[in-house]
Homo-oligomer: A and B are copies of this chain.
Amino acid sequence: MVDESLDLLTLLADPARRRIVGLLAAEQLCTCHLVEELGMKQPVVSHHLRALREAGVVEGSPCGRFTYYRLRPGALDRAAAALVGLATATHSEPPRRPC
């Protein structure tokens, strides 16, 4: 239940990908923008975008020579809800199983 919804967190473990989704949350960008914003080489950015794309987190719209990327609506909803569920669980005192 929790595990499957949170396997996206494996993707967001990498700081570079977190920065990518953070930037895409504010505005749609194409690869060249991300390359200069992140200060990383183009193949690296493309590699991360591929991972995010295959996970359904982002989607790319080819526009001439450029490819604009944006976050896919609702892609993070289940993961966010699962994490909120865990966070609220920390506020209650769970029972202690005897050894």
Contact = CB atoms under 8 A, between A and B. Distances in A.
Contacts of A9: 9, 12-13, 18
B94 A28 contact: yes
Given A22-B2, A90-B74, A91-B74, A68 B96 contact: yes
A28 to B, nearest CB: 4
Given A3-B19, A9-B9, A18-B3, A87 B95 contact: no
Contact of A94 (B33, B70, B75): B70
Interface string A51-93: 0000000000000001010111111110110011111011100
Nearest to A91: B73
Contacts of A2: 18, 22, 25
Interface of A: 2-3, 6-7, 9-10, 12-13, 15, 18-19, 21-22, 24-30, 32-33, 66, 68, 70-77, 79-80, 83-87, 89-91, 94-97, 99
